[in-house]
Structure 1
Amino acid sequence: MADRGRGDGQEFEESGGPAPVVAPAGGGGPAVDVNSPAAQEIVNSLVTMGISRPVAEMAVRETGADTAEGAIAWVFENDMGGASGGDEDELYQDFKMVFVVNTSLPMTPGKMAAQVGHAALGLYQDLISKQDTFGGPLLQWNENGSKKIVLQCTDAAHMNELATQAEKVGLPFHIIQDAGHTQIPAGSQTVLAVFGVSKEVDKVTGQLKLLP
């Protein structure tokens, strides 16, 4: 089936900033306001990698970093257990992949299953193509059972709202549009797939019901 994802030429959308590359720490910079839009964009990039938000905010604040690279270097060159007031497990979080099915479309259970499969493959390929950013999170996800949850939304407009929310918090996502060869019109948005730290994904999809 010639389903296609939504996005740019790589069929991928995200707002997590440039792909992080660990570079020598630029620590010692001036403290910055972590609530500013620019700082929050960097924080979201680190959270998408699986770094806890408190640690990410501290890294940006302490380094005065204006790019994700300096903040990431600071995270891995310092004792984040003591810095965050928690423990080292905060650096290694629970990841999940969530699939949101458009229940307004007349799809049989088999059709829905196929569309979820397309969404899983599409998003996974997107993440693999961004290994500098998502290699670590994917490894953690695989090592912890590759958690997957299937939910439902009311229609395409609702799906687009969820995709916009995912983009705002820096979560990678992939939307499947059907080719129209069988049960539904061509271009129908069937499934939205979202990946990230569970608590961040829940900010987007936590209010949705499980697909029965």
Structure 2
Amino acid sequence: LGFSKEKVLFAMQVTGSRNVEILAGWMFENDAESVASSSDSSYLDFKMVLLVRTDLNMSPGKVGSQCAHAALGACRAMEEMSKLSVLEQWEETGEAIIVLRVEGADAITE
């Protein structure tokens, strides 16, 4: 149909669908070419952010292990919630993972 990969990914993000007919219909109805090209390119950049609580006093090895479990769990949760378009965009934009420390559970909800 002549749509760029970026425009198709944008339509997948907006519709939450991977169905070609749904995506093509949305792109034709919403002029995805102008929407995607006019949007900020950082819109398609995704980063996974992991928060490590310092009040739990975990060893560096334990922190690494827990972060690995959390990252895998987040990917599995995205698959189970049928958010594959978001997961694929994260993968295609470098699978960035940011790890931040927080003082405790209260700091997470602030």
On whether the aligned pair clears a TM of 0.5, the verdict is yes
Q: What CA RMSD, in Å, does the superposition of the two structures yield over aligned residues?
A: 3.2
From 75, 86, 102, the equivalent of 1:137 is: 86
Structure 1 letter corresponding to 2:96: K
Residue 86 (structure 1) aligns with: 38
Q: Secondary structure at the match of 1:104?
A: helix
Q: 1:142 to 1:112 in 2, by over 3 A?
A: same
Q: Secondary structure at the match of 1:148?
A: strand
Unaligned runs of 5+ in 2: 1-11
Residue 52 (structure 2) aligns with: 101
Higher helix share: 2
Q: Is the 8 A contact 2:13 2:86 kept in 1?
A: yes
Q: 1:103 to 1:117 in 2, by over 3 A?
A: same
Q: 1:103 to 1:81 in 2, by over 3 A?
A: same
TM-score normalised by L of structure 1: 0.37
CA offsets per residue over residues 1-22 of structure 1, 9 Å max, x none?
xxxxxxxxxxxxxxxxxxxxxx
Q: Tell me how many residue pairs correspond in the alignment.
A: 93
Compare relative contact order (CA 8 Å, sep 6+) and give the higher one, 1 or 2: 2
TM-score normalised by L of structure 2: 0.66
CA offsets per residue over residues 90-130 of structure 1, 9 Å max, x none?
5x600111101001111110011111111112111111112
Residue 110 (structure 1) aligns with: 61
Residue identity over aligned pairs, in percent, reads 36
Residue 120 (structure 1) aligns with: 71
- Structure 1 position 76, deviation (Å): 3.0
- Structure 1 position 80, deviation (Å): 2.7
Q: Secondary structure at the match of 2:73?
A: helix
- Structure 1 position 85, deviation (Å): 7.5
Q: Is the 8 A contact 2:27 2:33 kept in 1?
A: no
Moved runs in structure 1, 4+ residues, more than 2 A?
Answer: 72-78, 80-85
Unaligned runs of 5+ in 1: 1-48, 57-67, 163-212
- Structure 1 position 145, deviation (Å): 1.5
Residue 104 (structure 2) aligns with: 155
Task: Write out aligned runs for 1:53-68 (5 A).
Answer: none
- Structure 1 position 50, deviation (Å): 3.9
Residue 6 (structure 2) aligns with: none
Task: Report the Cα distance in structure 2 between the residues aligned to 1:106 and 1:84, rounded to whole angstroms.
Answer: 45
